[in-house]
């Protein structure tokens, strides 16, 4: 009969008027994202062994890192830079990382006002995080700290 389907649709919408709403009140209630969420990247500097696997795994050359060698011919990181404007957030770099020094985080508020703010100095970000107490600094081998001091 004509109108039956219409009435059924009206019934469905009417029922939903009193259903629980699924709106998330975002800035007030921050969503809890699952731990695997790939919404941001972070580097745990002490864990990094400066192998450059992340850089070569990246499809878009987001990551540029410079390394130096100390007296005992061991590589250490001098700069680690990510150009977020080109990042696909594909996660290939974190998968490639052998020590999981580079990892994805669930921070998703990555919007910035200026293009330059998309250029991330990952080592600085790590230091900022440690300073703000967000993560604990890993205990580094004694020798490494001294080496860092020596290099300035």
Interaction site with another protein (CB under 8 A): 2-6, 8-14, 16-23, 25, 33-34, 36-39, 57-59, 88-92, 104
Question: Would you say 17 or 139 has its CB closer to another protein?
Answer: 17
Closest distance of CB 14 from another protein, Å: 7
Closest distance of CB 121 from another protein, Å: 24
Instruction: Check if the beta carbon of residue 82 is closer than 8 Å to that of residue 41.
Output: yes
The secondary structure element, H or E, covering residue 125 is helix 122-131
> By three-state DSSP, how is residue 110 classified?
coil
Closest distance of CB 135 from another protein, Å: 19
Question: Would you say 12 or 139 has its CB closer to another protein?
Answer: 12
Instruction: Check if the beta carbon of residue 41 is closer than 8 Å to that of residue 87.
Output: yes
Question: Would you say 38 or 74 has its CB closer to another protein?
Answer: 38
Going from the C-alpha of 19 to that of each of 15, 93, 109, the distances in angstroms are 7, 43, 30
Nearest in space to 42 (alpha carbons), one of 113, 112, 130 = 130
Closest distance of CB 51 from another protein, Å: 12
């Amino acid at each position: 009969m004509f109108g039956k389907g219409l009435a059924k649709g009206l019934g469905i919408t009417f029922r939903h008027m009193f259903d629980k709403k699924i709106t998330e009140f975002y800035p007030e209630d921050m969503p809890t994202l699952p731990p695997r969420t790939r919404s941001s990247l972070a580097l745990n500097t002490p864990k990094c062994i400066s192998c450059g696997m992340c850089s070569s795994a990246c499809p878009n050359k987001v990551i540029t890192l410079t390394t130096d060698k100390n007296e005992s011919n061991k590589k250490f990181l001098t700069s680690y830079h990510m150009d977020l404007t080109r990042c696909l957030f594909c996660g290939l770099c974190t998968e490639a990382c052998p020590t999981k020094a580079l990892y994805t985080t669930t921070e998703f508020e990555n919007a910035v006002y200026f293009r330059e703010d998309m250029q991330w100095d990952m080592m600085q970000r790590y230091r900022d995080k440690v300073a703000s107490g967000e993560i604990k600094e890993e205990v580094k081998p004694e020798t490494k700290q001294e080496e860092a001091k020596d290099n300035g």
